[in-house]
Structure 1
């Protein structure tokens, strides 16, 4: 059977051969089928679900391409629960290779075992969150026990694989608990403003007035949060029934995309924090100083390759309560800000940003240090790109085959993200700055408007009416 050609580097280097993902549809060129799989120019473009599962399972003389494993495990959850998939894989391993036969050739078992264990290792390493399901752990235990029975070497390998998996799941649980505590600590700033005098309140510049250090600490937060996002969350975020699918979605009983959602919430928090820091000072000169400080932080984020923090800071500065502070902005040297805004200009589908991202990605691929490997994409745009790719094509074709051509492209985008999220932050942590960035209370949108009007009075009747309304509602609460 012709094998799926090795598509360069989805899980290894982050480099891609674009042409391998751009084969024509079967109707547009010469294709051929093989055991329920359809190829075009030696590229797997579609197949029945059963055939695709068979293509995943190793045999004595076959092991699936690593990129196929990633792509199939990523996309298959749109059609089948990971637990049901693992059950099928176990069944095929046991029945096809006659492993259930007590008289099975021990040599045969020993030849097959390393290949099946390798597949399981790739699954547990790349999609560990699938194994939060107890049924998955049970199936994993049963299959590995059957494969390693009587072989000490394989037992050690299984033990090591299981320990790594349990450690990842434990770390995830601890991370989720920490997020809950952080959320509970970060309260509405307005409550704090009324609770203690302005003179003893903390602000960003009193914690750290070095833009480079703050940009480094923001990068710590970004990379930590990225590291906990499972690749499957990009797929599970799009819970939508395909008209050609008959299978029931399983996402309703699954933690769909909690780490992805937490990361989006972090972006929003950073934007609101920047706006809060700018609107809070009473004096115009101090507000201008805060704006210039965050412009410098944003520029350092750009230099690092931290595009997500960069965009969050720009978004905070562009919020209406901040942008309306004309007297404050008149005191700001905006040349650097104009350059950054140009880089993140949304026109032509974020052409300038995408060019900068390609440059950072290229730098990352050839980098010798973790410092140069950092690529933190503007995350909302990454999700949007994957969303439109998902919406643009059906998951299944008219004949019921899985549209695998679509999933090659999706895996390419998610796979590049997988490379970026594995970079370890090279900067030294500053606990005090991190604590402030994560937990300092911020204004709500209404409180931002109120602070803005208090700093620079309303300019028209609409603003005056809103100011009066906000004063009566917000200030009476506290």
Structure 2
């Protein structure tokens, strides 16, 4: 019988639940069997002030994750449905039954009725039965160069799950006494199921099925059977709360979790203790998220203070510039990397998928249309007019970390442009341009492609690009090389080659610095969007297109590997504070500052300067 994933080795096997207070918790499905990352030294204490470094905040892999994730030897995994960590993360595992050692249950046409399996756990002994009509539904046929097989309402091709009904996929997630779903399947379905139903509805159905399938009519027998399955239910909920904690900002999810804790308490004391520990870690994680959001809001409030619209020598002399704060390009690139990794670490994997969620995903079998904010498309060169915005139950999403991160990209671009347009002297402007070119080069060397692209974007904004007298004093050789690396032609082929190189370096890294990979984030969003749009969610027979879900999970899991890296560089509070709070010019203010630096060259620019002066002066008087 086939496995459920075409790349099972990408996700590590989950540690079995053990009946002790120090039981190992399941690893995150994107950790590749590695042990926990060291906790960050600086922990945000909630007492934020504008003068303090706003980035001393707990990360998912620090105060929260390091307390709950342990390194697991795959050979100790006793669930027959699990896989060990393969040397090649994409090597296919040996075939096996999709539900080994499982008992008959109504609605599960792909389960064993006898509970038997081959001695090596590798496949079925012919006992796959239909619970609807008692006849075998297993079918196989040649399909191109591979074999397609159907087990009830689940279809496989070349030993990989490719489609199934929504009900069958939910059933496949539910653990039993002697079955636990493959870890890659758990991650993939929990990630993408929100395209079809709300996480609360999924959790309600999974918990209900897990309890109901143990009922036999005998109270004592029911208690014994639930005691046996409780550890695996706790294991599943632990994976859910640790990988998708933001789902539990929904009060209904927390109530459901509380109800299951009470139910488990009646059957198994050890599982009840594990549930309590899991809930405590979840609350700590959600508390850290709340503190992070408050810190970002405070930073944004400080940054909203407006600089002087019209430059003067006096105003320029009074305002600090980036060179007065940091004149070392490598140090500034390091601090930008701190900000990038801090903000990346709070982006939940589900935020990518929730962008595409629609109001009623089960109606009309339509492909969901994304609700992308125009800011998300700013740096990827996309037009917001290409997208529609349907009403959805994720209209008011519980998290906005993805949007906040893209806003940081835009802020950095405008900060670079502001720093260049602000100085009165041409020589000073040229020096700042050369400085940012060096910073961009260091970002490239580190693997920080997001800051690199933000700097290039800022330097290519029209108010900066028109400063021809300034650019004539700049050696642009390095800048042209960097622009070539991030050239958008051929779908950013040069950048994608560089990203693959950085990823390979990260996989074989011997130091923390070599592990850093920070992708050009808006392009990552664009890739996931087109992957979602390029394939239908449902096939003609009404099945969920699980091949598409595998690909979505693969892209998101790569991001999660990059997200968990701990920045190895020392923090400089003064530089960080400057980067995230220094006011930047708006687009109109940038144009006016540019005209003040180098006067208009034609009548159109002269008219534009007069209009901008009048408009900004009127705006300042009103404020």
Consecutive unaligned residues of structure 2, counting only runs of 5 or more, are 12-29, 34-87, 94-140, 369-389
Q: How far apart are residue 416 of structure 1 and its match?
A: 0.5
Give the equivalent residue in structure 2 for 1:218: 336
1:445 to 587, 591, 595: 587
Give the equivalent residue in structure 2 for 1:146: 263
Give the equivalent residue in structure 2 for 1:232: 350
2:295 to 178, 183, 189: 178
Hey, what's the Cα distance between the residues in 2 that align with 1:144 and 1:32? 39
Contact 1:222/1:376 (<8 A) preserved: yes
Hey, what's the Cα distance between the residues in 2 that align with 1:142 and 1:327? 69
Residue 173 of structure 2 is aligned to residue 56 of structure 1: yes
Residue 236 of structure 2 is aligned to residue 119 of structure 1: yes
The 5 Å alignment of 1:37-52 reads 37-52=154-169
Q: How far apart are residue 254 of structure 1 and its match?
A: 4.2
After superposition, the C-alpha distances for 1:133-190 in whole angstroms (9 at most, x for unaligned) are 1111111122233224364432332222111110111111111111111111112544
After superposition, the C-alpha distances for 1:26-85 in whole angstroms (9 at most, x for unaligned) are 975641211311111111111110000000011112111111111101111011110010
Hey, what's the Cα distance between the residues in 1 that align with 2:184 and 2:460? 41
Q: How far apart are residue 374 of structure 1 and its match?
A: 0.8
Contact 2:9/2:91 (<8 A) preserved: no
After superposition, the C-alpha distances for 1:252-277 in whole angstroms (9 at most, x for unaligned) are 45416511111111000000000000
The 5 Å alignment of 1:80-159 reads 80-98=197-215, 102-149=219-266, 151-159=268-276
Residue 84 of structure 2 is aligned to residue 17 of structure 1: no
Q: TM-score, normalised to structure 1's length? A: 0.93
Give the equivalent residue in structure 2 for 1:383: 525
Give the equivalent residue in structure 2 for 1:199: 317
Residue 402 of structure 2 is aligned to residue 285 of structure 1: no
The 5 Å alignment of 1:68-87 reads 68-87=185-204
Hey, what's the Cα distance between the residues in 2 that align with 1:224 and 1:301? 16
Residue 576 of structure 2 is aligned to residue 434 of structure 1: yes
Contact 1:36/1:51 (<8 A) preserved: yes
Q: What is the count of residue pairs matched by the alignment?
A: 474
1:32 to 123, 140, 149: 149
Higher relative contact order (CA 8 A, sep 6+): 1
Residue 370 of structure 2 is aligned to residue 244 of structure 1: no
1:343 to 458, 467, 485: 485
More deviation, 405-414/107-116: 107-116
Q: Secondary structure at the match of 1:251?
A: coil
Residue 545 of structure 2 is aligned to residue 403 of structure 1: yes
Contact 2:194/2:357 (<8 A) preserved: no
More deviation, 180-189/340-349: 180-189
Hey, what's the Cα distance between the residues in 1 that align with 2:443 and 2:217? 57
After superposition, the C-alpha distances for 1:428-462 in whole angstroms (9 at most, x for unaligned) are 11111111100100000011111111111111121
Alignment CA distance shift 1:388-1:221 (3 Å): same
Q: Secondary structure at the match of 1:233?
A: helix
Give the equivalent residue in structure 2 for 1:4: 4
Hey, what's the Cα distance between the residues in 1 that align with 2:489 and 2:553? 27
Q: How far apart are residue 467 of structure 1 and its match?
A: 1.1
Q: TM-score, normalised to structure 2's length? A: 0.72
Q: Secondary structure at the match of 2:155?
A: strand
Hey, what's the Cα distance between the residues in 2 that align with 1:465 and 1:444? 19
Q: How far apart are residue 249 of structure 1 and its match?
A: 7.6
Q: Secondary structure at the match of 1:142?
A: helix
Q: Secondary structure at the match of 1:292?
A: helix
Q: Secondary structure at the match of 2:221?
A: coil
Contact 1:48/1:401 (<8 A) preserved: yes
Consecutive unaligned residues of structure 1, counting only runs of 5 or more, are none
Alignment CA distance shift 1:250-1:135 (3 Å): farther
Hey, what's the Cα distance between the residues in 1 that align with 2:158 and 2:599? 67
Hey, what's the Cα distance between the residues in 2 that align with 1:272 and 1:70? 37
Alignment CA distance shift 1:192-1:179 (3 Å): farther
Alignment CA distance shift 1:385-1:208 (3 Å): same
Alignment CA distance shift 1:194-1:331 (3 Å): closer
Q: Secondary structure at the match of 1:3?
A: coil
Hey, what's the Cα distance between the residues in 1 that align with 2:142 and 2:409? 42
Q: How far apart are residue 197 of structure 1 and its match?
A: 2.9
Hey, what's the Cα distance between the residues in 2 that align with 1:218 and 1:18? 36
Alignment CA distance shift 1:17-1:323 (3 Å): same
Hey, what's the Cα distance between the residues in 1 that align with 2:270 and 2:92? 41
Contact 1:188/1:443 (<8 A) preserved: no
Alignment CA distance shift 1:26-1:111 (3 Å): farther
Hey, what's the Cα distance between the residues in 2 that align with 1:9 and 1:182? 37
Q: How far apart are residue 2 of structure 1 and its match?
A: 4.1
Contact 2:311/2:596 (<8 A) preserved: no
